[in-house]
Structure 1
Amino acid sequence: MVTSVKEFKIDNDRVRELRFLLYGPIGVGKSSTVNTIRSIFERRAFVNCLAAAASGTSHTKCYEKYGIGNGREGMLPLAFYDIMGVEKQESAGVRTDDIINALKGHIKEGYVFHTQFPITEKDPKYCRNPSLSDRIHCLVSVVGAEKITMMDQEFINKMRKVREAASGMGIPQVVFMTRVDLACPMTKENLKNIYRSRKIKELMNTCSNLLGVPVNCIFPVKNYHDETHMNEEINCLMLDALTQIIHWAHDYVVTFSTIPIHKE
């Protein structure tokens, strides 16, 4: 799977990289997902993207881009964008308007999020006429497996609104269901049990019903957290999910390569 990802090429010379936006509540593993993917390709535990505690506030305050690859073998044509976490109050966390603007390609890297107001066209970090290359090519919602059944309706409404906006733009959407070891004792004992676990399957179905995402677009994964050495089981789960979202993001790019993007 590593070789397959390394050999991947984009069928559009104007799009240098596939862009993935990580979106979800605070402390569920958005930043840890970036660290896990980078660890796989660095072939060592890699911690560069600060992760927030589940009960804390978001470490991510600005629109940050993370490339995948390493200095020895070069970077891959993939970029993950990490943003401030979602909070249930409208006046806290990342604003839904900003997420939708990011999907459309209106927000440039380095923009500092404000909880009280969204980006405006006057902001120097606002991209007025985004190209296909500026857009997000796949929306990755990140939720904690052990918290799915306890998600507030406000969270669900916000995430559904973003998902519906992505659907209107034709952008593929997936869910990374993280922290599976905290939700299922059998999976915690042995990660290979993840697809044998009735509990994990039930949580995937619940997640599908709550967020409106098909079950086959929900990937149960585990991020590196307290591990100090590489773990092939963690790697395989994440690589399987990564391979799928690369294909779907690329399908989006190919489809919209011949369709003009409406200026907004």
Structure 2
Amino acid sequence: MGGAESTPEAPSPFLSKPWRDIDWGDNQRALQYVKDYKPQTEGQKLRILLHGPVGAGKSSFINSVQSVLKGRIYKQALAGSSGDAASFTKEYTTYKIRKEGQRSFYPFVFNDIMGLEVKGVLVDDIKLALRGRVKDDYTFNPVSKLSEGDQFYNNSPTDNDKVHVLVCVFPGHTVANIQDDVVQKIVEIRKEASDLGIPQLVIITKIDEVCPEIKEDVKNVYKLKKVKATMEEFSVKVGIPMNCIFPVKNYHEEIDLNHDIDSLILSSLKGMIDAGDEFLDELSQ
């Protein structure tokens, strides 16, 4: 008599080897690179514009960058909870990061905008922001775009007012269910940025909600088949190459810094600085 049939083993969620290398926990070199960065043109600021759906983690990413650079959990950009149905960010705000122990600021700034939900920021307003036409404190109107003559319309934008890096922030666990209208908005924004020559990157956030193995160890991110497949799926949908997409775990629940979370944040930040600096070089020429 034959024995009971054996149950086939479930396929491993892991790849045979990591598909991207990163210096986990050893962040001193990357941190020093960011601290030493300086645009070639005196007084130039590298402006990084974050956009994406509500709850993607745009404000949380800004806070996470500040936390890494300051060496402690920091909260300057007000962030909503993951359960918020409407965008927490209502105004166009520039976030500067002060260097520790100095009166000076880092030569890069972030702009956070209203989410891309149905009653969110208009694509036309993002197009104006790319061109430096939107002044700080402008309150986004989901039914009417900013127009010339408005007090928040910048008639004479300088190079410092214009955007030098466009970053789409998107939660990894929702990539499979991304709505067509959101994809259309992202693609339309990308086209405008491409016409202006602005480099474009993607941050895939909430990676710990994509795979439980990341909750166990953040260093698993580049070993997991599902994370890579998620990034590849988003790459195909919006047309951004894989080497411009960075998975990130924002600081959200933590009260202390984690070196491996820092590694992912610094990796993405370095990518933004490199892309933006190349664009600034082209502008100066």
TM-score by length of 2: 0.87
The equivalent position to 1:33 in structure 2, one of 45, 58, 61, is 61
The offset of 1:67, in angstroms, is 1.0
Please name the residue that 2:232 is paired with: 205
Cα distance in structure 2, aligned partners of 1:68 and 1:222 = 20
Query: 1:132-157 CA deviation, whole Å, 9 max, x = no partner?
Result: 22110000100000000111101110
Distance in 2 between residues matched to 1:226 and 1:69, nearest whole Å:
24
Higher relative contact order (CA 8 A, sep 6+): 2
- Indicate whether 1:106 and 2:136 are aligned: no
> Structure 2: any 5+ residue segments left out of the alignment?
1-29
Residue 65, structure 1, aligned to residue 102, structure 2: no
Amino acid at match of 2:96: G
Q: Distance in 2 between matches of 1:154 and 1:54?
A: 21
Q: How many residues align?
A: 254
2-structure distance, mates of 1:64, 1:95: 16
Match of 2:185 among 155, 158, 165: 158
- 2:246 aligned with 1:234, yes or no? no
Residue by residue, what CA displacement relative to the aligned partner does 1:78-136 show, whole Å, maximum 9, x if unpaired?
1000111111x2xx100000001000111111111111100001111111132222110
Structure 1: stretches of 5+ with no match in the other structure:
259-264
TM superposition score normalised by structure 1: 0.93
Distance in 2 of aligned mates of 1:77 and 1:167: 24
Residues 13-50 of structure 1, C-alpha deviations (whole Å, 9 max, x = no match) = 252x1000010000010000000000011111111212
Q: Percent identity?
A: 37
| 1:21 is aligned to 2:49 | yes
Aligned pair partner of 1:127 in 143, 154, 168: 154
Contact 1:132–1:253 under 8 Å retained in 2? no
CA drift of 1:54 comes to 3.5
The runs of 4+ residues in structure 1 deviating greater than 4 Å are none
Q: Deviations over 1:169-227 (max 9, x none)?
A: 00000000000000011222110011111111000100101111001000000000100
The alignment partner of 1:175 has SS state of: strand
Give me the whole-angstrom Cα distance separating, in 1, the residues matched to 2:177 and 2:212.
Answer: 18
| Deviation (angstroms), 1:256 | 1.3
Amino acid at match of 2:90: K
Alpha-carbon RMSD across the aligned residues, in angstroms, is 1.1
Amino acid at match of 1:35: N
